[in-house]
Amino acid sequence: MKNKRILALCLIVTFLFTLVGCGKADKTDAGTAAKDSVVIAMDAESEPAAGFDPIMGWAAGEHTHDPLIQSTLLITKDDITIGYDLAKEYTISPDGLTWTFKIRSDVKFTDGVPLTAKDVAFTYNNAMKQATETDLSMLKSVEAIDDTTAVFHFNTPYSAFAYTAAVVGIVPEHAYHAATYGKNPIGSGRYILKQWDKGQQVILEANPNYYGEKPKMKKVSIVFMSEDASYAAAQGGQVDVAYTAPSYTVNPIKGYNILAFNTEDIRGLNLPAVPAGNKTPAKRNGETYPAGNNVTSHLAIRQAIACAIDREAIVKNVLNGYGSVAYSDSVNEPWENEAMKVAYDPAKAKTILEADGWRLNAEGIYEKQGLKAEFDLLYISSNSVRTGIAMAVKEMLKPVGIKVNPMGSSWDQIATLCYATPHVFGAGSHSPTGVRSHYYTGKNYASYSNPTVDTYIDEALAATSVEASYPLWKKAQWDGAAGVTPQADSPWVWLVEIKHIYFVRENLNVIDKKIHPHGYGWTIVNNVHQWSWK
Partner 1 sequence: MDVGPYSGILKYIGKSIIKIISLLIAVSILSFILVSVSPVDPVRAFIGEVGMANMSAENLAKLEAYFGVNTPPIERYWNWFTDFIQGDMGTSLLYRQPVTSVIHVKFMNSMVLMTTAWIFSGFLGFIFGIVAGLYRDRWIDKVIKGYSLLIASMPTFWLALVLVMIFSVWLQLLPIGLSVPIGVNAAEVSILDSIKHLILPALTLSVIGIANITLHTREKMIDIMGEDYILFAKARGKSRISIIRNHALRNIMLPAITLQFASISEIFGGSVLVEQVFSYPGLGKAAVSAGLGGDAPLLLGIAVISAALVFGGNLIANLLYGIIDPRIRRGSAYE
| Residue ranges in 444-503 that form contacts with partner 1 under rule CB under 8 A | 444-445
Residues in contact with partner 1, counted by CB under 8 A, come to a total of 76
CB of 62 to partner 1, least distance (A): 4
Cβ-based neighbours of 196, under 8 Å, separated by 6 or more: 51, 52, 183, 202, 203
Looking at residues 338 to 367 of the shown chain, list those that interact with partner 1 (rule: CB under 8 A): none
Check binding of 184 to partner 1 (CB under 8 A). Answer: no
In this complex, which beta carbon is closest to partner 1, that of residue 84 or of residue 445?
445
Distances, alpha carbon 170 to alpha carbons 130, 185, 189, 280, 520, in Å: 15, 11, 9, 38, 24
In this complex, which beta carbon is closest to partner 1, that of residue 309 or of residue 427?
427
Looking at residues 33 to 52 of the shown chain, list those that interact with partner 1 (rule: CB under 8 A): 37, 39, 44, 49-51
Which secondary-structure segment (H or E) carries 144? strand 139-146
* Residue pair 190/206 in contact by the 8 Å Cβ criterion: yes
Of 108, 117, 119, 124, give the one whose Cα is nearest residue 172: 119
Check binding of 194 to partner 1 (CB under 8 A). Answer: yes
Three-state DSSP state, 57 = coil
Dihedrals phi, psi of 192, to nearest 5 degrees: -115, 135
Complete DSSP assignment for 335-350: T--GGG-----HHHHH
| Window of 116-124, 315-323, 440-448, 474-482 that interacts with partner 1 by CB under 8 A | 440-448
Interface map 53-82 toward partner 1 (x if CB under 8 A): ---x----xx--------------------
Which of 97, 113, 151, 232 binds partner 1 (CB under 8 A)? It is 232
Check binding of 224 to partner 1 (CB under 8 A). Answer: yes
Residue type, 277: G
CB of 349 to partner 1, least distance (A): 27
Check binding of 272 to partner 1 (CB under 8 A). Answer: no
CB of 265 to partner 1, least distance (A): 9
Count CB-CB contacts under 10 A for residue 227: 17
In this complex, which beta carbon is closest to partner 1, that of residue 73 or of residue 217?
217
In this complex, which beta carbon is closest to partner 1, that of residue 403 or of residue 443?
443
Cβ-based neighbours of 70, under 8 Å, separated by 6 or more: 54, 58, 169, 170, 171, 185, 187, 188, 189
Check binding of 197 to partner 1 (CB under 8 A). Answer: yes
In this complex, which beta carbon is closest to partner 1, that of residue 144 or of residue 493?
493
Check binding of 123 to partner 1 (CB under 8 A). Answer: no
Cβ-based neighbours of 279, under 8 Å, separated by 6 or more: 288, 289, 290, 291
* Residue pair 341/306 in contact by the 8 Å Cβ criterion: no
Which of 188, 207, 297, 431 binds partner 1 (CB under 8 A)? It is 431
Check binding of 369 to partner 1 (CB under 8 A). Answer: no
In this complex, which beta carbon is closest to partner 1, that of residue 182 or of residue 215?
182
Check binding of 438 to partner 1 (CB under 8 A). Answer: yes
Which of 107, 115, 117, 136 binds partner 1 (CB under 8 A)? It is 136
Q: How many CA atoms lie within 13 Å of 479's alpha carbon, on the beta-carbon side?
A: 15
Beta strands 37-43 and 219-225: pairing type? parallel
Q: How many CA atoms lie within 13 Å of 12's alpha carbon, on the beta-carbon side?
A: 6
Check binding of 236 to partner 1 (CB under 8 A). Answer: yes
| Window of 105-113, 278-286, 307-315, 456-464 that interacts with partner 1 by CB under 8 A | 278-286
Sign of CA dihedral 170, 176, 182, 185: negative
CB of 283 to partner 1, least distance (A): 8
Interface map 80-119 toward partner 1 (x if CB under 8 A): ----------------------------------------
In this complex, which beta carbon is closest to partner 1, that of residue 1 or of residue 355?
1
Cβ-based neighbours of 113, under 8 Å, separated by 6 or more: 172, 174, 175
In this complex, which beta carbon is closest to partner 1, that of residue 114 or of residue 237?
237
Check binding of 269 to partner 1 (CB under 8 A). Answer: no
Check binding of 413 to partner 1 (CB under 8 A). Answer: yes
CB of 21 to partner 1, least distance (A): 6
| Residue 37, beta-bridge partner list | 219
CA distance 382 to 265: 18
Encode 364-396: b = buried (16+ Cβ within 10 Å), e = exposed. Answer: ebbbbeeebbbbebbbbbebebbbbbbbbbeeb
Check binding of 249 to partner 1 (CB under 8 A). Answer: no
The alpha carbons of the chain give a radius of gyration, in whole angstroms, of 26
In this complex, which beta carbon is closest to partner 1, that of residue 23 or of residue 370?
23
CB of 373 to partner 1, least distance (A): 27
Which secondary-structure segment (H or E) carries 312? helix 311-317
In this complex, which beta carbon is closest to partner 1, that of residue 198 or of residue 513?
198
CA distance 499 to 319: 9
In this complex, which beta carbon is closest to partner 1, that of residue 323 or of residue 432?
432
Sign of CA dihedral 202, 207, 212, 214: positive
Which of 23, 94, 451, 480 binds partner 1 (CB under 8 A)? It is 23
